Amino acid sequence: MSHEIVAVDIGGTHARFAIAEISDGEVVRLDEPVTLKTADYASLQSAWDAYGEMLGRELPRSASIALATTIIGDVLKLTNNPWIIQRTTISQILKVDRHVLINDFGAVGHAVATLPDTQFTHLAGPAESWRNKAVISVIGPGTGLGVASLVLGKDHYHVVEAEGGHIGYAPLDAIEDAILSRLRQQFSRVSAERVVSGPGLSVIYHVLAAQEGRSVVALSDAELWTRALEGSDSLAAAAFERFCLSLGSVAGDIVLAQGGRALVIAGGLGLRIAEQLGQSGFMSRFVAKGRFQHLMETIPVHIITHPQPGLYGAAAAFAQEHGL
């Protein structure tokens, strides 16, 4: 018997909604998603109501909601989003009978576990499947830096939600020392996601400009990323190369800390930079772990290519929790 739910994926910048169908413990359908800017809505409830109005139909009375925050306590404050969500009122304000709350990269972990191999592409490292690995690390830069891990058993899997994007940023050369110094002017503690995230490119860009004595025009993060990936701005392109180095360093640290035997890169930004990432210094930094370089060289790295792993994974998490 199939069951419809509303799958929701709320990050720092966007809230995504889609109707999903679950049958026999699997996600068998994910409708075209609707993406709303969180800045345009005062709360989850107002965005939920707007989504229902856009569809022009009554929404299912079940929901699985992925949130860019740790799911602890009754009051949830998103890390890079002003919305505040009170867990005890969700059923009432959204008019649902059953719901699941999950960390956004926990949801991506469920997607990694349940999507078919056709939704992944090999990026670097040994060209082998990660399906036979006991522990898979999952990482993805976006508005922040999402991290999770996936533990695979013979007939089951378990997702470990984490906040690995908030480990301390560890510079490895003089340029990264300068990046850390600039960020310390704003923050008492500098986490990895201050650099390895969408907004982090701007930080790197301004540090490189200062080192070269160049003035720069004010650019939005979106404009800067476009210039970097198009190669139309040499300084932006240099900042992107430095971003890839830092992503490699952090991803390698995460894999070592989690005991990962494979790495999956996820998220819209990860997919957007996939081609350039494989040609960058990402992998040289990923494996550069001193006495454990030989171990890191055995780690396959894949990118998830499904356009909405957060929504798909949220639906999969609902199926797992409710046994549908």
Distance between CA 322 and CA 254 in Å, rounded?
A: 31
pLDDT per residue as tens digits for the range 97-125:
999 999 999 999 999 999 999 999 999 99
8 annotated as belonging to a binding site for a ligand: yes
d(CA 223, CA 256): 34
The answer to whether 138 is a known ligand-binding residue is no
Please give the pLDDT value at position 43: 93
219-244 average pLDDT score: 95
pLDDT at 167: 96
Closest CA relative to residue 44, chosen from 3, 92, 83, 89: 83
Q: What is the model's pLDDT at position 126?
A: 95
| pLDDT given for residue 2 in this prediction | 87
Is domain 164-304 annotated with CATH 3.40.367.20? yes
Residue 253 labelled as part of a binding site:
no
Residue 155 pLDDT class (50, 70, 90 cuts): confident
State yes or no: pLDDT of 222 exceeds 80: yes
**Cα radius of gyration rounded to whole Å, the chain:** 20
The residue written with tokens 């957007």 in the block is 272
Average pLDDT of the segment spanning 227-238: 95
Phi, psi for residue 134 in degrees, rounded to 5: -75, -40
10 labelled ligand-binding: yes
Cβ 108 vs Cβ 146: under 8 Å: yes
The pLDDT value given to residue 80: 73
* pLDDT tens sequence across 28-43: 999 999 999 999 999 9
Does the annotation place 11 within a ligand binding site?
Answer: yes
- CA-nearest of 71, 58, 133, 134 to 104 is 71
Question: Is 203 one of the annotated binding-site residues?
Answer: no
Domain ranges of the chain: 2-113+308-322, 164-304
CATH code, 2-113+308-322: 3.30.420.40
pLDDT at residue 19 in the model: 98
Is residue 324 scored above 70 in pLDDT?
no
pLDDT, residue 153, reads 86
* Structure confidence at residue 154 as a pLDDT band (50, 70, 90): confident
Q: What is the pLDDT of residue 322?
A: 85
